Amino acid sequence: MQRRPPPARRWGKTRTALGAAATAAATVPAELLLRAITLRNRPYLPIWFHRGLSRSLGVRIITHGEPPRRGKVLYIANHLSWTDIPVLGARIHASFVAKSEVAGWGPVGWLASFAHTVYVARDRRSTAAIQKNEIADRLNAGGSIILFPEGTNSDGTGVLPFKSALFSVVGDVPGLIIQPITLAYTRVNGLPVTRRQLPDLAWVGDTELAPHAITFAGLGRVTAEILFHDPIDPAEHTDRKALARHCHSLIAAGYRRLMRGG
């Protein structure tokens, strides 16, 4: 006989489903109306959608420091899970860079496109120049971009090496600010995250999205922490590899500190 999940877990899943539906119903029509009124195909309300979705998932977000108030900003972040999108999106006005497969993930892909995500085919070198130009154009137009230079999700035990090729856009955007940020899921129901809980928080390997999302929604209250490091002037580094190593060092050290409760 199969056991039913505890009431708290069942409520968590129900809360997430109802909250996500209500958030989408409130923000998507308003976003479409704003675009129709202004005649500009740009995102206006994704940050409110991300905030509503984060609350629906039971995620409490704590920030350390603040993002730049203005300017062309390329945010460099570590990557743990699909939940990174609503968590970072709830605190940062910026578009994401995602692998091209995300566009085909049903409602998730539609919402990503709706928020002006920049898609990259990471296994196709022939399109790299086009993709770099698209990111550069977005930044030069005054937008901000969030980039995950690990190129995939880590398992939560640390930060994977950064792919320096993803920093190639830096030379094409005068006055660009590099903003490293560390993201960590540090507590579940008020208690420090254990190694055994990491697979329920980090989304890695061939794990399907829907089952992982259901498991996450049943965890309870999850604390996510965002650490904004000091902004970086790209001109202070000799090349993109040096810049990538410096960002990785900052973010990895920040991750260890947050996971240790520092």
- What is the per-residue pLDDT across 224-251, written as a single tens digit (0 to 9) for each? 999 999 999 998 888 999 999 999 999 9
CATH number, residue 194 = 3.40.1130
With respect to residue 2, please indicate whether it lies within any of the assigned structural domains. Answer: no
With respect to residue 198, please indicate whether it lies within any of the assigned structural domains. Answer: yes
Global pTM reads 0.84
- Nearest Cα to Cα of residue 86 among 35, 126, 52: 52
Q: Tokens 């109802």: give the residue.
A: 18
Total domains in the fold of the chain: 1
Q: Which range of residues forms the domain containing residue 173?
A: 7-259
As a whole number of angstroms, the distance between CA 249 and CA 243 comes to 10
Q: What per-residue confidence (pLDDT) applies to 160?
A: 95
As a whole number of angstroms, the distance between CA 49 and CA 91 comes to 11
pLDDT tens per residue across all 262 residues of the chain:
444 555 555 545 565 555 555 656 556 665 566 556 765 656 656 788 888 889 889 999 999 999 888 889 999 999 999 899 999 999 998 988 877 777 776 766 766 777 778 887 766 555 566 678 888 888 998 889 999 999 888 999 999 999 988 888 888 899 999 999 999 999 999 999 999 999 999 988 777 888 888 889 889 999 999 999 999 999 888 899 999 999 999 999 999 999 998 6
Per the CB < 8 A criterion, the answer to whether 222 and 188 are in contact is yes
With respect to residue 1, please indicate whether it lies within any of the assigned structural domains. Answer: no
